[in-house]
Amino acid sequence: MADKGVDGGRGRRAGVVNKQRGNSSQRFYLVLALVAVVGALFIVRAARAPRAIANVTTAPITAAKAEGYLLGNPNAPVQIMEFADFECPACGNFAVITEPDVRNRIVNTGLASYRFFDFPLPMHKNTMAASNAAACAADQGKFWEMHDELFRNQPEWNGESDNKDNPKKVFLGYAKSLGLNTDAWEKCFDSQAHQSRILANQAEGVRRNVQSTPTFVIGTRQIPGALSYDAFKAYVDSAAKEAPPVATKTDSAAPKTAAKSTTKGATK
Amino acid sequence: MSRRQTLALLAVVGVCIALYLTLYKIGVIGVLSCSIGSCETVNTSKWSMLLGIPIAAWGLGAYIALLVLAMVGSGEAHEASVPISRVIVALAGWSVLFSAWLTYQELFVIRAICIWCVSSAVLWLVIFILSVADLRAVSRAE
């Protein structure tokens, strides 16, 4: 009788433990399912979000030579190339924080020339439009001014901004503030007159196996990722040591003059 | 909730992060949601691939393996299994080291930070700490 009582007690306790375990498992599976569903919804929403919209052009695109946009003396001892996307945040940081020093202390001193190559990434909705805006500003000799405006104000026009569906309105504002002939700029922008030039710059990056933006080519070295000024200068100094000497008595004045005259203008 | 069940829960969170980054890498997702850092810079860099497979896909595999182990280990039949705990500790330890190396690449080589990748690295660290606690508890009970 006593044994029966003990057994009965154990049975009840085991029952309670099993019930508790069952409840705990149920709670666990519920939380697990909840987390999985929230994660799945987030991913499905991201996958369904609008992708980068291709620019539509009716004009046939003829192949162009990749030239980039030049800053400084083209005959400087070191040649620098930058492959960048106007909508890429890392490129924007570099352009705003480091590039002014690079221009003042490396390009303007005639140590190196600097060429910007468009490398629009497909995931950025408005980058092609921004490249187009800068190319049209280059027609009026103000590529670098537009370049600076675009990078400085990325949040005003990028694919996540309030103006994401009409970046042209913002770009037109920059064109006005830079004193461009807005009619000519607008005509150029609407007709995508420089699409082939932009694509040629991009193709040059693909040919060089550029895999991220910004990517720099300094002399013979290709360096992915934004660089600090000190690292940048170290690469330039290293490239300068490898470069053949260019300054002779007869042409030593030429780079200075050229650097001064081309510093703010872009070659076509 | 037991430690193994918590591990399973964390593994599901990890699966979601790794799946998101993998789908971006293979082009199914167009734009990464990245409020802090430069996720695209990191995920389009050459360090985002290993042996021709996206790093995120390797992470996805590791999280799925952890999920399976933690789910099996949460069952009544294996809840005191020391070998399962050891395998989880080994997997989590390796993942912590690998994540640390990736974070180093982000900070000092790519010079850009991807908030999703950092989240995954922190997640592996938490998983590792929890898995060591689980191994100690299971070994003591044996």
Q: Would an 8 Å CB–CB cutoff place A227 in contact with chain B?
A: yes
Smallest CA–CA distance from B105 into chain A, residue: A225
CB contact under 8 A, A35 and B12: yes
CB contact under 8 A, A159 and B31: yes
Q: How many contacts (CB atoms, under 8 Å) link A and B?
A: 94
Higher local confidence (pLDDT), A22 or B105: B105
- Cα B45 vs. chain centroid, distance in angstroms? 20
ipTM reported for the complex, 2 dp: 0.76
Q: How many other β-carbons are positioned within 10 Å of the β-carbon of residue B66?
A: 25
A167-177 vs A143-152: helix crossing angle, rounded to 10: 130
CB contact under 8 A, A42 and B20: yes
Among the listed ranges A1-10, A192-201, A239-248, B69-78, which one has the minimum average pLDDT value? A1-10
Phi, psi of A264 (to 5 degrees): -100, -5
Of B2, B9, B38, the CB nearest to A32: B9
CB contact under 8 A, B110 and A225: yes
Of B8, B13, B16, the CB nearest to A43: B16
Collapsing DSSP states into helix, strand and coil, what is residue B113?
coil
A195-207 vs A127-139: helix crossing angle, rounded to 10: 120
Tens digit of pLDDT for each residue in A118-159?
999 988 989 999 999 999 999 999 999 999 999 999 999 988
Disruptive mutation site among A29, A212, A230 for chain B (greatest number of B CBs within 10 Å)? A212
Tens digit of pLDDT for each residue in B54-107?
888 999 999 999 999 999 988 888 888 889 999 999 999 999 999 998 888 888
Domain range summary for chain A, segments of one domain joined by +: 69-242
Q: Would an 8 Å CB–CB cutoff place A31 in contact with chain B?
A: yes
Residue A16 has pLDDT above 90, yes or no: no
Element (H, E) at A261: helix A253-262
Q: Would an 8 Å CB–CB cutoff place A35 in contact with chain B?
A: yes
Distance CA A80, CA B29 (A): 33
Q: How many other β-carbons are positioned within 10 Å of the β-carbon of residue A173?
A: 16
Question: What percent of chain A is modeled with pLDDT above 90?
Answer: 45
Distance CA A138, CA A128 (A): 15
Residue A15 has pLDDT above 70, yes or no: no
Token pair belonging to A2: 């006593």
Higher local confidence (pLDDT), A132 or B32: A132
Mean per-residue pLDDT for A33-51? 80
Please give the pLDDT value at position B51.
86
Among the listed ranges A56-60, B14-18, B42-46, which one has the minimum average pLDDT value? A56-60
CB contact under 8 A, B45 and A212: yes
CATH assignment, A69-242: 3.40.30.10
Is the distance from CB of A120 to CB of A83 less than 8 angstroms? no
**Mean pLDDT score of chain A:** 81
Collapsing DSSP states into helix, strand and coil, what is residue A222?
strand
Residue A78 has pLDDT above 80, yes or no: yes
